[in-house]
C-alpha cells in the first residue's frame, strides 16, 4: 500500500509537469487524489485534514492573481517599468521591479505578468528576450520568501504553524535580500555576454494585456492609483493579522476597488485549475507520508540539521515540485515556527532553480515564453539556473545558516 501511495503521488506530479497527450495539468493529479481516497489509501477524514491548511492559502491565490491582472490592466506595471529603467538603470531597474512584485504580490503573478512585458522590452531594445525574461522566474525563487504572501508555500507554512509577517521578515528577509543581490551580480555577467541586435517590431504575439498609457499624465495616474492600492494591500496584510483578517480578504477587497477603476472583472484570470492542482497534490502528499518517517532527514535545529534540511528539501523540490516537497516535510517540522521551518522554506523556495519541474512558476514561465514565440525549453531554465540561480540560492542559504549560528 505504501508503494501504491507513493506511485500515485508520482503519477500526479508527472501529470502536472509533463501533461501527457496535452491534457490539462490538473487532470491526472485530481484523478490520482480521487483514486487514493476511493481505494482507502487515505480516509476521507485524512484527506479533509490534509487540505484544511490549504484553504486560506488557496483563497489568497484565487484573489491575488486577479489583483495583479487588474493592476496590469491599469497600466501599473508598464508605467513602473518605464520609471525603473530611466536614468540608465536598465536591467537593474527591471531586476528590482521583478523582486518587488514577487515579494509583495506573489511569484506566480510576477511570472505571468512580467514575462510578457520583459519579452516586449527586450525586442524593442535589441536585447535577448530569453535572457531578459529569465529575471521574473529567477526572482520567483530568490525573492519569494520574505513575506507570507510571496509564495503559496509560505502561506501554507504560515497556516500550519501560525507564523506571521513579523516572523517571516525576521528570519527570511535578510537571506532573501542576499540571494537577490548575489543573483543580480551573476545575472549581470550572463547578460553582458549576450549580443545586441537591431530592435524588432512588436507583434501581436507579444501584446500585453494592458493598454500603453499614452501620456506622461496617464503614466503618473497609473502609478499613483496602483501604488495606493498596493500600499493599502501591504498595510492590510500586516495589520490584518492582528484582527483576524486573512490575506485573501485583503486581496479580495483590493480586487473590488480595482474592478471599479478598470471597469472589468477578470473572470478568466482566476486560477481555478491551479487551486485544484494544489488541493490534489496536498491529498497525494499526505497519503504518501502516512507511514514514512520524514523526520529522519528533515528537521532539527543544529547547524548540520538545518543544512541537511535545506539540501533535502531543495532536492525534493526540483524532483517532485516544491509544493508536494513542502507538504511532505511539514509534519516533520511540527506546528511551531522553529528554525527548522525556515530551513524547509529556504529549500523549497530558493532550491528549485535547476529543473523546471521545481515549481509551478517555472512551468508557467515556459508556457508563457512559448506562447510569446520565444523558443524556450527546460534545458534553458537549467542553464540560467546553474549560472545565476544556484550561486544565489547557495548565498541565501549560507546567510541563513550564518545568522542561525550567531544566534
Residue pLDDT, tens place only, 26-68: 899 999 999 999 999 999 999 998 888 888 888 988 998 899 8
- Residue 50: per-residue pLDDT: 85
Which residue bears the cell 490549504?
54
What span, in angstroms and rounded, lies between the C-alpha atoms of 377 and 383?
Answer: 10
pLDDT at 206 over 70: no
What span, in angstroms and rounded, lies between the C-alpha atoms of 110 and 171?
Answer: 23
| Average pLDDT score over the chain | 88
Query: Higher-confidence residue: 170 or 69?
Result: 170
Kindly state the cell numbers that stand for 218: 496617464
The band of 198, judged by pLDDT with boundaries at 50, 70 and 90, is low
- Residue 129: per-residue pLDDT: 93
pLDDT more than 90, % of the chain: 52
pTM for this structure? 0.87
Which residue bears the cell 491565490?
61
In the chain, count H helices and then E strands: 20, 0
- Residue 204: per-residue pLDDT: 44
Kindly state the cell numbers that stand for 90: 536598465
User: Which tens digits make up the pLDDT trace of 211-222?
Assistant: 555 577 888 899
pLDDT at 156 over 90: yes
Mean pLDDT in residue range 335-363: 92
What span, in angstroms and rounded, lies between the C-alpha atoms of 305 and 307?
Answer: 5
pLDDT at 371 over 90: no
- Residue 368: per-residue pLDDT: 85
pLDDT at 69 over 80: yes
Whether the Cβ atoms of residue 26 and residue 280 lie closer than 8 Å to each other = yes
Question: What are the extents of the domains in the chain?
Answer: 2-406
pLDDT at 120 over 90: no
Amino acid at each position: 500500500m505504501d508503494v501504491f501511495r507513493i506511485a500515485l503521488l508520482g503519477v500526479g506530479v508527472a501529470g502536472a509537469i509533463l501533461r501527457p497527450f496535452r491534457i490539462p495539468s490538473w487532470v491526472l493529479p485530481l484523478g490520482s487524489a480521487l483514486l487514493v481516497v476511493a481505494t482507502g489509501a487515505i480516509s476521507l477524514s485524512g484527506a479533509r485534514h490534509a487540505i484544511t491548511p490549504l484553504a486560506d492559502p488557496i483563497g489568497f491565490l484565487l484573489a491575488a492573481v486577479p489583483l495583479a491582472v487588474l493592476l496590469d490592466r491599469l497600466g501599473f506595471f508598464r508605467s513602473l517599468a518605464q520609471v525603473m529603467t530611466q536614468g540608465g538603470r536598465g536591467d537593474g531597474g527591471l531586476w528590482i521591479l521583478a523582486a518587488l512584485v514577487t515579494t509583495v504580490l506573489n511569484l506566480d503573478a510576477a511570472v505571468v505578468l512580467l514575462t510578457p512585458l520583459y519579452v516586449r522590452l527586450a525586442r524593442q531594445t535589441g536585447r535577448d528576450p530569453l535572457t531578459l525574461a529569465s529575471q521574473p522566474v529567477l526572482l520567483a525563487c530568490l525573492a519569494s520568501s520574505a513575506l507570507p504572501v510571496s509564495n503559496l508555500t509560505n502561506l501554507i507554512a504560515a497556516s500550519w504553524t501560525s507564523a506571521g509577517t513579523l516572523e517571516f521578515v525576521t528570519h527570511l528577509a535578510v537571506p532573501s535580500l542576499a540571494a537577490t543581490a548575489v543573483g543580480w551580480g551573476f545575472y549581470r555577467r550572463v547578460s553582458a555576454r549576450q549580443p545586441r541586435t537591431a530592435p524588432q517590431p512588436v507583434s501581436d504575439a507579444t501584446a500585453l494585456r494592458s493598454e500603453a498609457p499614452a501620456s506622461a499624465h496617464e503614466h503618473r495616474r497609473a502609478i499613483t492609483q496602483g501604488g495606493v492600492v498596493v500600499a493599502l494591500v501591504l498595510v492590510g496584510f500586516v495589520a490584518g493579522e492582528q484582527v483576524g483578517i486573512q490575506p485573501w480578504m485583503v486581496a479580495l477587497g483590493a480586487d473590488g476597488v480595482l474592478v471599479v477603476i478598470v471597469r472589468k472583472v477578470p473572470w478568466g484570470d482566476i486560477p481555478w485549475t491551479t487551486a485544484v492542482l494544489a488541493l490534489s497534490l496536498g491529498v497525494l502528499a499526505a497519503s504518501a507520508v502516512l507511514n514514512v518517517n520524514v523526520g529522519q532527514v528533515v528537521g532539527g535545529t543544529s547547524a548540520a540539521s538545518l543544512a541537511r534540511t535545506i539540501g533535502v528539501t531543495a532536492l525534493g523540490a526540483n524532483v517532485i515540485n516544491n509544493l508536494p516537497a513542502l507538504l511532505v516535510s511539514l509534519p516533520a517540522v511540527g506546528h511551531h515556527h522553529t528554525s527548522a521551518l525556515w530551513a524547509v522554506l529556504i529549500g523549497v523556495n530558493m532550491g528549485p532553480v535547476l529543473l523546471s519541474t521545481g515549481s509551478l512558476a517555472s512551468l508557467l514561465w515556459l508556457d508563457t515564453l512559448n506562447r510569446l514565440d520565444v523558443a524556450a525549453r527546460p534545458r534553458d531554465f537549467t542553464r540560467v539556473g546553474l549560472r545565476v540561480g544556484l550561486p544565489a540560492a547557495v548565498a541565501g542559504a549560507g546567510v541563513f545558516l550564518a545568522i542561525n549560528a550567531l544566534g
